[in-house]
Amino acid sequence: MKLISQKSISTLYVLLLTFALSQICFAAPRHEVKIPDIPGYKTLKCDFHLHTVFSDGQVWPVLRVEEAWREGLDAIAITDHLEYSPHRTDIRPDVGRSYEIAKPSAIDKGIILIKGAEITKNMPPGHFNAIFIKDAKPLDNNDFNVAIKNAAEQGAFVFWNQPGWKGQQPDGVPKWYAEHTSAYEKELFQGIEVVNGDEYYPLALKWAQEKKLTLMGNSDNHDPISMNYDFCIGQHRPMTLVFAKECSEVSIKEALLARRTAVYFENNIIGDEKYLKPIFDKSVQMLKSEIEFKGKGKASVRITNTSELDFDLIANGSPEHINTPANLKLNKDSTVMLTIENKDKTFSGTENIRVPYKVKNLIIAPDEGLPVEFELKIKFISAEPGKK
């Protein structure tokens, strides 16, 4: 009797586990990510850093597409390592194969699948992703400069991964080395991850803004996504928000090169003010902006937030004639009341008043929230003498 080899058993186990997990995803409904489009652009939800069993991931490529569909993503890139294939005993290393396997499912689900690979080097320079590549093989070179140059010659978009990853920077603080300066000055990479998995790098955000690099935020997921995020309590993977002219691979690449991105991380969006402000404006509406005070009293206006973020606001100055809360939380998909108090019962007249806040979790620079204002038209009627 012919015995089944340990290798065959291991391979069968991987395939059965992947099939079981994929059935869970097939049955699950799609969650639409409630972050609005902004004027002139569609807000596409993307993850450009994912791994499969063809490098050091634990899932079959098709599962990456199913996960993306379930979580409301528009585009993903599978970026298996070129230099690191720990499953090679059971699965023949071939970075391009993961794309080929996942592509039919991506077409069926309407997910844009972008061909990519990870160039994996010690620090410096560290790990870089190349996406929109044509062929991964020329990127598999021991010399980082040759590898990244070959990616550029294919028209790839290249970004620096996890610059503060403790596996290469033990203190968790990103460092910019001479190797990065050389590649940057030759325009061989265009972006940088300010978020990787559960790590946020404020210093990388500062570099990106100073050096005009595209902001990226990705999951770098190796396991089934549900092992790292509890969807039942509202957790989600980090995403790169791409402000694209249309939902297409060509348009995504154009937007990345034009630096039209932000990063959705936990209950935060990180990006330039010119993109975060319209997201806030499209998400938040004041249902009635005209109120009347007679003497000294209080009034309330309703504010609705249709996004899936809880916006945390802190006062950014004191408006004239009225008192407003120092802190305001606009809960997701809800309506809250903004309470306003008249400071002076003797003042009369109609005033247009701006109430300034900063949105702490719309981050436009390290430790800097987005400034916003609510505009109110208030009619003040002076109280008669002797009356309350």
Which residue in 228, 250, 246 sits closest to 237, CA to CA?
Answer: 228
The pLDDT confidence band at residue 1, using thresholds 50, 70 and 90, is: very low
Asked if pLDDT for residue 85 goes beyond 80, the answer is no
Rounded average pLDDT over 26-48: 92
Give residue 384's pLDDT band: very low, low, confident or very high (50, 70, 90): low
Beta-sheet strand order (sheet of 322-323): 284-286, 298-305, 334-342, 322-323
Strand partners, 216: 193
Q: Cβ atoms within 10 A of the Cβ of 7, count?
A: 10
> How far apart are the C-alpha atoms of 279 and 256, rounded to whole Å?
18
Q: Which residue has the higher pLDDT, 96 or 181?
A: 181
Alpha-helical regions (H) of 177-309: 178-185, 202-211, 249-257, 273-283
Any idea which architecture 14-271 has in CATH? Alpha-Beta Barrel (3.20)
Would you say domain 284-381 falls under CATH 2.120.10.30? no
The whole-angstrom separation of Cα 242 and Cα 260 is: 6
Query: Does residue 336 contact residue 330 with C-beta atoms inside 8 Å?
Result: yes
Percent of residues, the chain, with pLDDT higher than 90: 79
Judged against a pLDDT cut of 50, whether residue 338 lies above it is answered with yes
- Record the pTM: 0.90
* pLDDT score at 388: 44
Q: How far apart are CA 18 and CA 98, in angstroms?
A: 14
Task: With CA atoms as reference, report the closest residue to 378 among 319, 317, 316.
Answer: 319
**128-161 pLDDT, tens per residue?**
999 999 999 999 999 999 999 999 999 999 999 9
Q: At what angle do helices 61-70 and 95-109 cross, to 10 degrees?
A: 40
Residue 50's DSSP bridge partners are 78, 221
Distance CA 79, CA 66 (A): 16
Q: Are 85 and 119 within 8 A, CB to CB?
A: no
pLDDT at site 25 = 42
**Contact present, 323 and 343 (Cβ < 8 Å):** yes
Residue ranges of the domains in the chain?
14-271, 284-381
Here the tokens at position 169 are: 């920077």
Other CB atoms within 10 Å distance of the CB of residue 199: 18
Short-list 270, 336, 266, CA closest to 308: 266
Residue 2 scores a pLDDT above 50: no
Q: What is the pLDDT of residue 320?
A: 86
pLDDT by residue (tens digit) across 196-218?
Answer: 999 999 999 999 999 999 999 99
Average pLDDT of span 316-331? 94
Would you say 241 and 37 are in contact if contact means Cβ atoms under 8 Å apart? no
Using the structure block, give the residue that is written with the tokens 């994912």.
50
